[in-house]
Amino acid sequence: MSKKPFNLFEYILTYHRGAFATLVLIPISVLYATYLSLRHKLVFMLNTAPKEHEKRVAKIIQQVKTWADSGSTQKLTTSRSGWFTMSELVPAYKKTNYAIDLNMRDIIHIDYEKRTIKVEPLVDMGQITATLNARGWTLQVVPELDNLTVGGLINGFGIESSSHKYGLFQYTIESIDIVTADGSFKHCSATENETLFYNIPWSHGTLGFLVCAELRIIPCTPYVEIKYQPLFGLDTIVHQFEAASRDINNQFVELLQYSKDEAVLMTGHFAANNFDKSKINRIGRFYTPWFYKQVQQYLLHKTIGVEYIPLRDYYHRHTRSLFWEMEEVIPFGNSPWFRYLLGWALPPQLSLMKYFETETTRALREKHHIVQDMLMPISLLHKSLMYFEEEYQVYPLWICPMLVKSYPNDYGFIHPYKNERGELDELYVDIGAYGSPKKKDFDGNTALSKLENFVIDHKGFQALYARTLMNKEQFRRMFTHQSYDALRNELPLCTRAFSEVYDKVGGTARVAPVTYKKNK
């Protein structure tokens, strides 16, 4: 049997990825982020977005109509590179589908009286918080990572530590504009095209092209008051977390679990103007330790504490370290010398990390690593955490509560939990597992298949940005398709233009990196 030829590049990425990320990925990421930041500020200052938005929508409509009139049988997709998705893998379908140019990344308008912000789908959370927070406003729900886009959060899912109060990101939408497969423009809200409005979340662009979203905003203050409470013993952790999550007087609720019986509960509020300035912690400064390491100190010292964090720093508290995944990419990234020299440049662009992945590093990641968010009924939190302890032993775990609300006429992919007695509970919890499990003889593929069956059997949901091994039957057991299927059959050309959700996220829909070409 012949040996595989030695590949220097693959060797570097496998055994020296920290050095590669530092010397290659970080400089490119800094240049790209600087360009985008300057561009966004200039566009908003000049107020060119509203007029440009109308032109962009008209261009998309024309492209879709050209496809429809040509009788093309190719499925439609956006021309945005698959490298820029938040999924670990790259969408394979972009290589063969008919690409529609959708370069829409601007904030269109803020309506302070109506309390909404109107944005294009590629506007990201960093862009929104930089614009709104400086003006004393914020979104009801701000998912942590800077690069998460509005379109991705609507077509997929989004959650934050205010989701116990407002629900998932999808519940903060006032209205949505889409272009359907026949080139029709549709404005969708709870009172107009409501079937579309309620079925777009989780649909992954399989009902039309999202071109605009109107999101609800609320007043805010410049700082957040955060209380840190170390908890010991799984029963205590679950009880205290659920109590905090059901208290809507808390603006923010989050829990970091560091072992089976050790966690830190964080509850927060917008700070009043007369707070103790000596307790300010500017966690956004590049030289400070990664946030989850700061939080762990309350656990190690077994002390309750209160801090005041600048609001935008709080919203993006996990961005610099990508929760704790950056430790896998740059093992020395939290070292004081690195933070002071290059902490300001973190994190590298996820798209670049995907672009430079090799077959060897991908195989190692799938076998020895997990990146998953599982949404479970909060009444099953204890059982779910025990499952992760027994099957994965991966810590920290990110645990965040959220509402899964009922839509009219049972529209939508997800629905609140009904127990054996038929009692309804809208409160769910996101268990985010990111890292390399410590369980002996761990195999990622075997573990993921078992985990997905556990989630299905216990009326939970899987975040679809992550890798899935479910077959189509399992997928349809996890997510309700009744109104979605009916709508796809009703919308002109929809089934010809768009694959259904499973065909975009499951099976061979996402593969290892390949090179894509746009349609001319």
The 8-class DSSP code of residue 23 comes to: I
Location of structure tokens 């021309």:
79
pLDDT band at 520 (very low <50, low <70, confident <90, very high): very low
Rounded Cα–Cα distance for residues 373 and 471 (Å): 18
CB 367 within 8 A of CB 445: yes
Rounded Cα–Cα distance for residues 495 and 207 (Å): 9
> What is the CB-side half-sphere exposure of residue 348 using CA atoms within 13 A?
26
Whether 6 shows a pLDDT value over 70: the answer reads: no
pLDDT 10s digits, 101-122:
988 989 999 999 999 999 999 9
- 15, with CB counted inside 10 A (0-12, 13-18, 19+), is exposed
Q: Which two tokens stand for residue 490?
A: 């009703």
CA-closest candidate to residue 77, choices 210, 214, 260: 210
Q: At what angle do helices 26-46 and 125-132 cross, to 10 degrees?
A: 50
The 8-class DSSP code of residue 337 comes to: H
pLDDT band at 200 (very low <50, low <70, confident <90, very high): very high
Whether 404 shows a pLDDT value over 60: the answer reads: yes
pLDDT of residue 19: 62
The 8-class DSSP code of residue 466 comes to: S
Q: What is the mean pLDDT of the chain?
A: 88
pLDDT of residue 518: 40
pLDDT band at 516 (very low <50, low <70, confident <90, very high): very low
Cβ density class 257-290: b for 16+ within 10 Å, e for less: bbebebbbbbbbebbeeeeeeeeebebbeeebbb
How large is the average pLDDT for residues 338-361? Answer: 72
Q: Is domain 371-480 classified as CATH 3.40.470?
A: no
pLDDT 10s digits, 296-335:
999 999 999 999 999 999 999 999 998 998 888 888 889 9
pLDDT band at 18 (very low <50, low <70, confident <90, very high): low
pLDDT 10s digits, 166-189:
999 999 999 999 999 999 999 999
Rounded Cα–Cα distance for residues 44 and 33 (Å): 17
Out of 3.40.640.10, 1.10.10.10, 3.30.465.10, 3.90.1150.10, the CATH code matching 49-220+502-511 is 3.30.465.10
> pTM of the full predicted structure?
0.88
Choose between 511 and 337: higher pLDDT.
337
pLDDT band at 45 (very low <50, low <70, confident <90, very high): low
Using DSSP, state whether 293 is helix, strand or coil.
helix
Rounded Cα–Cα distance for residues 340 and 334 (Å): 10
* Cα distances (angstroms) measured from residue 36 to each of 33, 97, 138, 471: 5, 27, 21, 39
The 8-class DSSP code of residue 516 comes to: -
Domain positions in the chain are 49-220+502-511, 371-480
pLDDT of residue 34: 76
**Greatest mean pLDDT range, 216-225, 359-368, 416-425:** 216-225
pLDDT of residue 335: 92
pLDDT of residue 43: 65
* Cα distances (angstroms) measured from residue 357 to each of 28, 255, 279, 329: 16, 31, 42, 12
Concatenated DSSP letters of 116-149: EEEE-TT-BHHHHHHHHGGGTEEES---S-TT-B
Identify the helix (H) or strand (E) that includes residue 477: helix 472-478
Instruction: Determine which of 78-87, 96-105, 451-460 has the lowest per-residue pLDDT on average.
Output: 78-87
